Amino acid sequence: MSEISENTFLTAEQAWAIQTEFGTPTFVYDQLLLERQAQVALGFPNPYGLTARYAMKACPSAAVLQVLYRQGLHVDASSGFEVHRALRTGIPPEHILLTAQELPADLEHLLDLGVGVNACSLHQLEQLGRLHPEGRVGVRMNPGLGSGHSNRTNVGGPSASFGIWHTHLDQVLSLQSEYDLHIELLHSHIGSGSDPEVWQRCARLSLEIAALLPEVTTVNLGGGFKVGRMPGEAATDLHLAGAPIAAELERFERDSGRALQLEIEPGTFFVANAGALVCSVADVVDTGEGGYRFIKLDAGMTEILRPSMYGAQHPIAVVPPVGTARGQGDFLVVGHCCESGDVLTPEPGNPEGLRTRTLCEPRVGDVVVIGGTGAYCAAMATKNYNSFPEAAEVLLATDGSRHLIRRRQTLDQILTNESVPAFLTD
């Protein structure tokens, strides 16, 4: 079997089989890698107990949720819709925690079911108090510290709207008293990063807040553990990141006598490299001497927005028919949208820049595999832009079998909610 690249789990034979069986573009998720990552996360250092949650916004496919839930993960939901999606997948309500920018209209129903809810603002905390006085709640605090490779991935510190700013704790305590609430969970999330010292500082800041909330039994430090998608790109070592956090929890227990349980809720960590996008070469063009050579795909920002949004880098491989030998060249890889920003090989960290890749000489119809697309790709794409349908999704089971877990969308499904007023059809 011929491997495609260092950071892609598919073989050339599998990629061509997927193109033939399911068409392109198609996302493929690897069950074995999902299960491995789940077990790594469940081994995160913790002196007094751990709950590992999957941030389902990264990839909310029902099959992916079930694979990770069966490994022992709970769920972090970012909207009421995600809560209902998880419930329909079979996740028990008590294993779901809602941490959202806006609370859903059926919040009282979700609370009655037993779904956990974090208050991410003073307004949300008051909403929870009015609906369920004397209830058990969580609060998300912004500890004043952030991390991430860009401002768009930094969800802590003064530039982030997520959570209650740490100096507003007196107002939290006032609302707690007014509604006789029991704040049992303290939540914080600083963004995507891999520096253990930053994680330790975040834990320390969070525990300083926990010390002022005597009913807190659990501290949730969020996710954001960096994953290396490209060959040679550094990834977070969870043991190294977790060791100083465990030390902080032990120090807190010695100082206060309170042994707090730990929660983490990664998304990217579980699914990023367990997903690949299989697409095809639609065209090959150039802009003459001194210009560029372009590989046009039958996929693009309608499947993977991260390069256009962040200047994110993904491994890309042109896969000729098995047994075919070709040379290499330097190419820009672009998507199928009528949009100048639909570029899959931007300059690293700069979506405005361009960076060629050395790839196998392409032919129209060749398979192309884009790795590291399990997280924030199918879930976060510009779906239906240019009226392109939503891509199919396939699960590669541990026995090597392939299972369609999302059918390719049809034009009728895209149009199903549209209507034209009668006066326009007369």
CB-CB contact of 52 with 44 (8 Å): yes
Q: Which of 59, 120, 279, 338 is catalytic?
A: 338
Amino acid at 202: C
Other CB atoms within 10 A of residue 253 CB: 14
* Helix or strand run (H / E) with residue 308: helix 306-310
pLDDT at 203: 87
CB-CB contact of 297 with 345 (8 Å): no
* Residue recorded with tokens 């998720």: 29
Task: Provide the 8-state DSSP code for 344.
Answer: S
CB-CB contact of 392 with 407 (8 Å): yes
Q: Which residues pair with 280 in a beta bridge?
A: 367
Q: Which residues pair with 331 in a beta bridge?
A: 357
* Residue recorded with tokens 């609060």: 139
CB-CB contact of 308 with 347 (8 Å): no
Q: How far apart are alpha carbons 409 and 393 in whole angstroms?
A: 11
Query: CA quadruple 213, 215, 219, 222: dihedral positive or negative?
Result: negative
Distances from the Cα of 257 to the Cα of 183, 203, 251, 260, 389, angstroms: 18, 17, 10, 10, 56
3-state secondary structure of 392: strand
Amino acid at 55: A
- 338 among known catalytic residues: yes
Give the pair of three-digit tokens for residue 262. Answer: 């730990």
Q: What is the pLDDT along the chain (426 residues), one digit of tens a residue?
A: 455 765 689 999 999 999 999 999 999 999 999 999 999 999 999 999 999 999 999 999 999 999 999 999 999 999 999 999 999 999 999 999 999 999 999 999 999 999 999 999 999 999 999 999 999 999 999 887 644 444 434 344 566 788 999 899 999 999 999 999 999 999 987 655 566 777 788 888 899 999 999 999 999 999 888 899 998 888 889 998 899 999 999 999 999 999 999 999 999 999 999 999 999 999 999 999 999 999 999 999 999 999 999 999 999 999 999 888 899 999 999 999 999 999 999 999 999 999 999 999 999 999 999 999 999 999 999 999 999 999 999 999 999 999 999 999 999 999 999 999 999 998
Other CB atoms within 10 A of residue 267 CB: 27
Q: Which residues pair with 329 in a beta bridge?
A: 359
All domains of the chain in start order, with CATH: 12-25+272-415 (2.40.37.10), 31-266 (3.20.20.10)
* Helix or strand run (H / E) with residue 329: strand 328-334
CA-based radius of gyration for the chain: 23
pLDDT at 285: 98
Task: Provide the 8-state DSSP code for 378.
Answer: T
CB-CB contact of 157 with 146 (8 Å): yes
pLDDT at 353: 96
Other CB atoms within 10 A of residue 177 CB: 10
* Residue recorded with tokens 């063009």: 285
